[in-house]
Amino acid sequence: MIISTQRSALLLALLGASPLAIADSAQSRSEGFIEDSTWSVLNRSVFDQRDYRHGASNSGGRNAYKPRSERNGKAEEWAYGLMGTFQSGFTQGLVGVGVDAHAYLGVQLDSGGGRAGKARLLGLDNEGHPKNEYSRGGAALKVRMSNTVLSYGEQRVKTPVFSSSDSRLLPETATGFFLTSNEIDTLRLVAGHFNESTDRNASSHDQGFVVNYSNGRKGDTFDLAGAVYSPTSNFTASLYTSRYEDSWNQHYLGSTFTQALDDQRSLTFDLNLYRTTDTGKALSGRIDNTTWSLVSRYNQGPHGFSVGYQQVDGNTPFDYVTRGAIFIANAVQMSDFNAPNEKSWQARYDLSMSAYGVPGLTLTALYVRGFDIDGTHVDPTGGYAYLGYGKDGRHWERDLEARYVVQGGKAKGMAFSVRHNVHRGDTAQAELDGDQIRVAVEWPFGGGF
């Protein structure tokens, strides 16, 4: 790729780069395609057992895409995942070129006596049976000028409106263009255009987008643009806008502020707000939804205490494309607490055991309660009517987790986690009652060339 110096300077000026910044930029410090390359391999083993109880007769939410016959009883899966990632450096010169590539493999270790498929660790065949193994791979071409990178291909993306989840065995990916610009020290600009997202247990790349709650016809493209402003180390503000073609426009405002009280104590506030309205052909029906959350956290030494509040204003649930594009505070393990008109609060406690002689061990306890659910005014012809929300719905969730990361030796970085999650609710909300036990082991290693 050859770009004239004049055109390059004009483009960088539009992005906010000065000649001085160009001379001292990430691209100017490039050592080369191979010299700056890195690789990593992550081994992950996950055991997931879920006991679905009588609970809600409406089987929507995160269980919406399971056949009705599978929405009760037990789910049990144990699987091994292998994730290899290669990130090249950039060629030297005014414009650098590189490649990022990945290859993922998932292997069934135990299907729980035929109870696999419902925890979404394993890929499924055309008849809905768990595969013994599944895999996928992809790559993205990337171009860098100064501190601006444009990539095209299959990649992992993290923004509040479109984000690749890594909460099961293998990560989610997306295919399209993604631009990141860091020409101004305190400001990061991003933009993207995507034509599909690939779910965490999928092996094919032609299923369109992963949509979490709507069963309406899918749009063909997703576009986003955003800015992240970080003037100081203790304050960050984000603003994003996005369009899911013929479905909805979604805007996001978020900010985080941390104030140190002394060497041992600090106070943090975290705000997330989404505004979603239908657009174009409105394939998911009428949408007019504002969802927000505010969490305050007090840290004192190894202890962390959090309280938060979340509210949905609208007659549809707060919905999102890709599994990870939900930054509201009460989106936890078994429920997003995002039903129509729902209000919810949380209380959380975190403890770092390093202060008690066990560095690397953290313990977490979380409780969320949702109430005032009213889905009786949902668009009857839209993509959410099948969820069957009622009026005055209530539910709660309790999550407990212990996580240990090896601090030294040959196994440094190896992580072990155990979770026990419980969800209960009435029939006016759409999530199943369930108990979950999840055990995960991760062993990463990697290096450069």
Q: What is the pLDDT of residue 12?
A: 52
- Convert the pLDDT of each residue in 211-261 to its tens digit: 999 999 999 999 999 999 999 999 999 999 999 999 999 999 999 999 999
Domain 5-448 belongs in CATH node 3.60.21.10: no
Give the pLDDT of residue 64. Answer: 43
* pTM assigned to the model: 0.91
What pLDDT shows up at residue 2? Answer: 41
Low-confidence residues of the chain: pLDDT under 70? 1-22, 54-72, 112-118
At residue 68, the pLDDT reads 38
User: Contacts by 217-222 with C-beta closer than 8 Å and gap 24+?
Assistant: 217/283, 218/247, 218/283, 219/244, 219/245, 219/246, 219/247, 219/280, 219/283, 220/195, 220/245, 220/246, 221/193, 221/194, 221/195, 221/245, 222/162, 222/176, 222/192, 222/193, 222/194, 222/195, 222/197, 222/321
Phi, psi of 154 (to 5 degrees): -90, 125
Residues near 127 by Cβ (< 8 Å), separated by ≥ 6?
none
219-238 as b/e, with b when 16 or more CB fall inside 10 Å?
Answer: beebbbbbbbeeeeeeebeb
Per-residue model confidence as pLDDT tens digits over 271-329: 999 999 999 999 999 999 999 999 999 999 999 999 999 999 999 999 999 999 999 99
| pLDDT given for residue 63 in this prediction | 47
